[in-house]
Each structure stands twice: as C-alpha cells, then as structure tokens.
Chain A
C-alpha cells in the first residue's frame, strides 16, 4: 500500500522529473500530471511494476478546461493486490488533443476512451475502434465541452426545445 507521494517518487525515478508533477486540491485526493507523449509507457509501468501493480483502471474521464483552453484525461487506477489507488492526469491543448490510447493495457479504456472522444473530443491514438459511443456517428460537436452549442437539426429533425 503506497500513498500518492511514494508513487510519485517511484515514477520520477523511472521517467525523470520534467513531465511529472504532483498536485493536490484543497480537498479530496491528490493526482499526478503526466505528459501526453509518455502516458502509455507510464501506464504500462504502473501496471507491471511489482511495487505498483495497478491492475484495474477504475475510471477514465475526459474533462474540458475552458480557461486554459485545454482538454484533460483523468485515469483512476487501483491495485486489487496492493490496495492502493492513484489518479493520473494528462492535459493536452484543445486544438491538438491527441493522447495515446491505453486500451491495450486496460480493456476498460476501450469504451471509456470512446466516451471521452464522444463527449469531450479527445483523440486517442492507437485505439482499435475510435468511434462515437453514446451519440450517433454523424453527430456534430462534443456535448461535454463547456462552449458546446447543440445543433439545431439532426437528420432533418429538430433536436431541442
């Protein structure tokens, strides 16, 4: 069982300091921010290293940060062997929101990444089935962006009010 600081130290030793940061809010749990480019390697290390063994991805969420003009992806990991959890975050600019897919590491990510693409518009490189999941394939825009405006017509049918 390790807490966030210890996990952060292990990661820093392995991947260097430049792209990793430990954050925490006024309340709630701390999280580690990582660079998008390395996220797949970090994920694989988190899963396979014997001191970490994060064998389940509990949740993967896409977030839109309108003030920073960034999109974020949050990975909530848990180890059922060592009973510790960590939140991992990736931030990418909104005009080039590309994040490597972790689908090959945790299958949970398959649908969750599709949902993040559908709702927020993060593009996951290397995803085997990169399609919308909740909205129809030809829907316009990504509903969970803060500046989202719903299209007026879909296939000739009014969508709102």
Chain B
C-alpha cells in the first residue's frame, strides 16, 4: 500500500470534466491531469451521443431516408449537413439540379452558417463568463430560425433538401424576410465587436491561448474556421466548389495574429465573426440571382438508384470539411456511408494544443474549436 501511494505523483490531480459540465458543449468527457491550475494532459472521451448514423444509413435501404438523420449529426447546422449529403447523392446519380433549387439551397445554407456561427460565438463568450453577448446572438439566431420555420415548418431539424430538389418551395415572403434580416443583421455584427470581440478582458483571455500552428493543423486534418484561424486561406466553397458557389463574389477571412500569436483562440473566433459578413454578401447576391419561376420538385428522381461505384464528396459546413464517403452497390440504398465530421477531427487535436494551458484556457480552447457532439459521435 505504501508503495502504491509513493508511486502516485502527489502534485497531480486527475479531474473529470464532463460529461455533465457547463462548458463541454454537450456530452463530452475530458480527463484532465492537473498540476494546480495548469493542465498537463487532456484525454477526450467521446461516444456518449453515438446513435449509429452509419449503421442506420446502411440498413435503411433508401438514399432519401438517410437525409433526416444527417440533420441530427450537427444539429445546429442541419441545412449544411443535408446540403453535403444531397450533393454527394446527386453526383452519384449524375443529375442536374434546377437553377432555382440551387439558389435556394445556397441561401438557406448561408443563413444556417450565420445561425450556427452565432451559436458558436455566443457559447464561446459564455464559456469565458460573458453572458450578455450570448443572448444578443440568440436574438439574431432566432430571426434566422423564424425564416426557416416559415419555409420548412421546423426550427432545428428541417429535412428540407432532397436529391435533385427540395421538399417544399420557400414561403411567399421568403425573399423580403431574408433581405430584411440581412439589412438588420449587419449593424449587429458591429455591436457584437464592440461588446465582445475587442473587449480588453476578452482579448486577455483568448489571445495567445491555444495556439495552433498551420503545419500541425494540416497534419491533423483541420479545416474550416480552425484551419483559417491558423492563417491558411482554405475554403471548400472556393477551393473545391460545389453547388453554385463559384458564381458568388466573397472573401475568405483568415486569422492574422492581430492581437496575439497566429492561430490562437481569438483568431479562430474573429474568423467566424468575419465569415458571417461574407455569408451576408453571398445571400445578397443569391437573392438577386434567385429565379422567380421554377419548380423545386421536378428535378427529384422517382427512384434513387445509382450505379455501382464510390464517391467522396466534401462540403464546407460552419465547422469545416464535412465529407461523405458513399459506396453504392447498385441497390436502392447505400452499401456504406461514412461521414467525416469536422468536429471529430478538431476534437482530436485538443490534447496537442491544450498542454500547459490553465483550466480556464482549456474551456476557452474547447469553445474556440466550436465542436458539436452530435457530429463527433454521429
């Protein structure tokens, strides 16, 4: 017994953060080895939300019946998840999608990106103890959800897109509602910057914390705002265009290490804020280009039965590269669907960037990589 006690390093303390903890963004469990307040090691434990998405997709025997399940992976950006999946299925079917459908898809996907970033930013502020910006973000997110509710009938999980088309046409006032949102939302970004982004305490807490060098980021397969926060101009909407993103004029915001080291929490945060502005630009252009007439159902094939083969399609969700690896064996349903979720990849780099941070920093780092556990565990 004495020997056992001697072997335990008395200065270290192992503490369980989660699965029930206010700032692990769901049911994530982190085994944290602490020395006082300093984090020596982090071991993420996941799987608490594993719902067998891939098994379900194989068993259901119908490509279209997988779509509601893709919603439930990353439940805060359901539209983007659907978009990625229908793009993959359409490429397997080799079908053309009507113009109007493409435009509507881009608009809802970008609206969803804004909603998702608002949640990510708000929750990040909440992790650092700033309660009010969280609610300001939610007020704006609510407006996006209202638009979605009017069109799809749902506020969180929409089941809106179908291979080749949409489940419903947009509601009558969709165009004016969205234009109104774009108009009112722009000044709010400035308000958010004044309240949170350039707050002295916020900068102290996030700059130089959780620095992720771009080489490490690439080796870990990081993507989306996490990779862009490290200074790499990489956005699948531009670098591997899908849908009609090549028609729009927008910029890729990247972290520049303005207030600290390149690739710190603040850089990842500000990339999300600036991306919302770019999304607004895309929405404006798409609203201008949206054809008035057009049937959103006519492109939907009667039978979704692709030829044998396999495909890996990736799209840019608010969290990064969402890949679908689909193998078809000529039957009505996929032989294998593998979802490559950005949050899963980003969470795996948490141990390498949080070594030596303090407990409060660990919370900031988890918040800044903006994970959704539904997507990590699938």
- Does chain A touch chain B in the assembled complex, meaning CB atoms less than 8 Å apart? yes
Nearest CB in chain B: distance from A53 CB, A: 11
- Would you call B314 and A58 a contact (CB within 8 A)? yes
Contacts of A28 in B (CB 8 A): 91-92, 309-311, 328
User: How far does the alpha carbon of A134 sit from the alpha carbon of B52 in the complex, in Å?
Assistant: 10
- Would you call B221 and A29 a contact (CB within 8 A)? no
- Would you call B234 and A58 a contact (CB within 8 A)? no
Question: Which applies to chain B's interface (DSSP): helix, strand, loop or mixed?
Answer: mixed
B201-259 residues at the A interface, CB under 8 angstroms: 216, 218-221, 232, 234, 239
A116-138 vs B, CB cutoff 8 Å, 1 = contact: the mask equals 00010000000000000111100
Partner of B345, one of A31, A85, A108: A108
Judge whether A59 is part of the interface by a CB distance below 8 angstroms. Answer: yes
- Would you call B327 and A63 a contact (CB within 8 A)? yes
Q: Which of these binds chain A: B23-31, B123-131, B139-147, B336-344?
A: B336-344
Contacts of A57 in B (CB 8 A): 221
Please, which residue of chain A has its CB at the minimum distance from the CB of B336? Answer: A63
- Would you call B52 and A143 a contact (CB within 8 A)? yes
Contacts of B327 in A (CB 8 A): 63
Nearest CB in chain A: distance from B377 CB, A: 6
Partner of B312, one of A27, A59, A80: A59
Partner of A25, one of B54, B307, B336: B307
Partner of B92, one of A27, A80, A83: A27
Q: A134-B50, A143-B52 are in contact. Are A108 and B348 (CB under 8 A)?
A: yes
A81-110 vs B, CB cutoff 8 Å, 1 = contact: the mask equals 001010100000000000000000011101
Partner of B310, one of A31, A83, A134, A144: A31
- Would you call A61 and B325 a contact (CB within 8 A)? yes
Contacts of A85 in B (CB 8 A): 312
B297-337 vs A, CB cutoff 8 Å, 1 = contact: the mask equals 00000000011111110100000010101011000000010
Nearest CB in chain B: distance from A46 CB, A: 14
Q: A61-B336, A106-B219, A107-B219 are in contact. Are A26 and B325 (CB under 8 A)?
A: no
Q: How large is the interface on A (under 10, 10 to 19, 20 to 34, 35 or more residues)?
A: 20 to 34
Partner of B323, one of A58, A107, A144, A148: A58
User: How far does the alpha carbon of A61 sit from the alpha carbon of B47 in the complex, in Å?
Assistant: 17
Contacts of A25 in B (CB 8 A): 307-310, 328
User: How far does the alpha carbon of A148 sit from the alpha carbon of B307 in the complex, in Å?
Assistant: 26
- Would you call B310 and A107 a contact (CB within 8 A)? no
Contacts of A144 in B (CB 8 A): 54-55, 58
Partner of A107, one of B94, B220, B328: B220
- Would you call B221 and A58 a contact (CB within 8 A)? yes
- Would you call A27 and B348 a contact (CB within 8 A)? no
Contacts of A61 in B (CB 8 A): 325, 336, 338, 340
User: How far does the alpha carbon of A85 sit from the alpha carbon of B352 in the complex, in Å?
Assistant: 27
B344-365 vs A, CB cutoff 8 Å, 1 = contact: the mask equals 1101110010000000000000
Please, which residue of chain A has its CB at the minimum distance from the CB of B93? Answer: A27
Nearest CB in chain B: distance from A28 CB, A: 4
Nearest CB in chain B: distance from A131 CB, A: 10
- Would you call B348 and A24 a contact (CB within 8 A)? no
Judge whether B46 is part of the interface by a CB distance below 8 angstroms. Answer: yes
- Would you call B309 and A27 a contact (CB within 8 A)? yes
- Would you call A59 and B323 a contact (CB within 8 A)? yes
- The CB with the most chain A CB atoms within 10 A, among B306, B312, B327, is that of B312
User: How far does the alpha carbon of A108 sit from the alpha carbon of B221 in the complex, in Å?
Assistant: 5
Contacts of A58 in B (CB 8 A): 221, 312, 314, 321, 323, 340
- Would you call A56 and B221 a contact (CB within 8 A)? yes
Given contacts A28-B311, A111-B348, 15 further A-B contacts (CB under 8 A): A25-B308, A28-B310, A55-B219, A56-B219, A58-B221, A59-B323, A59-B340, A61-B336, A61-B338, A76-B312, A76-B323, A80-B232, A87-B312, A106-B219, A135-B50
Give 4 closest A-B pairs by Cβ, nearest first: A25-B309, A108-B221, A26-B307, A28-B311
A contact residues vs B (CB 8 Å cutoff): 24-29, 31, 55-59, 61, 63, 74, 76, 80, 83, 85, 87, 106-108, 110-111, 119, 133-136, 143-144, 146, 148
B contact residues vs A (CB 8 Å cutoff): 46-47, 50, 52, 54-55, 58, 91-92, 94, 216, 218-221, 232, 234, 239, 306-312, 314, 321, 323, 325, 327-328, 336, 338, 340, 344-345, 347-349, 352, 377-378
| 12 A-B pairs (CB sep. < 8 Å) | A27-B307, A59-B325, A61-B336, A63-B327, A74-B325, A76-B312, A107-B352, A111-B345, A133-B47, A134-B47, A134-B377, A135-B47
